Amino acid sequence: MATNRQWLLSSRPTGEPTVDDFESIEADVPTPGPREVLVETEYLSVDPYMRGRMRDAESYAEPWDVGDPMRAAVVGSVVESNHPSFEAGDSVVGDLLWAEYAVADGADLRRVDPDRGPVSTAVGVLGMPGVTAYFGMTDVVEPTAGDTVVVSGAAGAVGSVAGQIAALSGCRVVGIAGTDEKTAWLESIGFDAAVNYETEDVPSALGDHCPDGVDAYFDNVGGPITDAVWSLLNVRATVAVCGQISTYNATETPTGPRKLMRLIQSRARVEGFLVRDYEGRWDEALDRLSAWVDRGDVAYRETVVEGFERAPEAFLGLFEGANVGKQLVRVGGS
C-alpha cells in the first residue's frame, strides 16, 4: 500500500513559528468508510488563520493539540468513493489534512469543475479567501461609488480580491502591501494606488493617495498600518476587521495608540467578521466571483511552493509576506 506523508503539529510555537514546530510522519493511506471519500491532495492551502489554531488560547478557531495533524483546505482528486455524489477522478475541495491522502465524509466535500479554470482557485479566489473578500466588502464594509477604500494586506489572497470588488463598485481603492512587485501588481489590476509599507512612510503616503480621507477600510493586518488608516477615517466611515496578521506571532499583546476617540470624531463603525458566518450564502459569493473572474474583472495570482515537504515553509512565508496573491503548496496530482 502507498504511504501517506502528513504533517503534525509537533510543538506550540512561542512567537514566530519555525519548521521545528512541525513533524512529518508516514502512515498508511486511509480506507474510506461508508459514505466517505478518499482524496489525493493536489493543492494544499496555507492561510494566516492557522497560526491561531497553533495557539492554546481563546480564538475563533479550535486550537490544535500538539501531535494533532495539521488541517487545511485541500483541492484534490477522488481516489475511491463510497459516496454517491463522487467517483474516482473527480476534483473536489474540502477541509482536509496537511497530508498526501485523506478521507472525508462526502457531505463535507464540494465538487470542483476543472473546466471552469485551474482547480487551485477552489482554495483561492473561488474559495475561502475570495468568499471572505466578497462578504467583507459587500456585507460589512459596504462602500458606495465614489468612496475612498483602503485595503491592507492588499496583495494577499483576500485583500487583492477585496480591493478589486471595491473598484468594481466604483470606489477609489488604495492598497497597502510590502514589496514593489506587489504594489505594481495591485496598480495593474484596478487599484488606483498602492503604498509599499516597507519603503514608504505610510501615514504620509496614505495622506497623498487619500486626499479626501478614507470612507472604508478593509483591515487584514492591524498594527501601525491600521493606526495610520484610522487617522484618516471620514465621518460615517466603515471598517471591516478581517485579520490582524501583524499581531499573530506576538508573544504578548502588542501595544499601540488608543484610537477609539477617532471613532467618536468620525462616528465610524468598526466590525469584525468571520467568513464562516456566511456559510449559507457561499454559493452567492461563488457565483459572483466566478462571473467576475470569467469576465476578467477580478484578476488573481498564486504563489505556488512545489512539494509536500515544503508545506511548513510555505506557511511560514505568509508572515514574511513571501506570497503574492494566494499561497499554495502543490503536492501531487496530474
- d(CA 250, CA 158) in angstroms, rounded, equals 22
By CB under 8 A, residue 267 contacts a second copy: yes
- CA torsion 200-301-135-94 (nearest 10°) is -130
By CB under 8 A, residue 258 contacts a second copy: yes
Q: Which residues are bridge partners to 110 per DSSP?
A: 93
- d(CA 164, CA 292) in angstroms, rounded, equals 10
Contact pick of 92, 96, 270, 324 for a second copy (by CB under 8 A): 270
Contact pick of 78, 268, 311, 329 for a second copy (by CB under 8 A): 268
> Of 26 and 62, which has the nearer Cβ to a second copy?
62
Stretch near a second copy under the rule CB under 8 A, chosen from 18-26, 88-96, 161-169, 241-249: 241-249
User: Which residue is listed with cell 495570482?
Assistant: 301
Q: Is 178 helix (H, G, I), strand (E, B) or coil?
A: coil
Write the interaction track for a second copy spanning residues 156-195; mark x where CB under 8 A is met and - where it is not. ----------------------------------------
- d(CA 132, CA 252) in angstroms, rounded, equals 27
> Of 61 and 322, which has the nearer Cβ to a second copy?
61
Nearest to 157 by CA among 138, 180, 185: 185
Contact pick of 274, 304, 307, 309 for a second copy (by CB under 8 A): 274
> Of 47 and 302, which has the nearer Cβ to a second copy?
47
By CB under 8 A, residue 213 contacts a second copy: no
Write the interaction track for a second copy spanning residues 45-84; mark x where CB under 8 A is met and - where it is not. -------------xxx------------------------
- d(CA 127, CA 123) in angstroms, rounded, equals 4
The count of chain residues that interact with a second copy, using the rule CB under 8 A, is: 35
Element (H, E) at 283: helix 282-295
By CB under 8 A, residue 225 contacts a second copy: no
Nearest to 155 by CA among 171, 178, 136, 137: 178
- d(CA 166, CA 187) in angstroms, rounded, equals 14
Sites of contact with a second copy (CB under 8 A): 58-60, 219, 222-223, 226, 241-244, 247, 253-274, 277
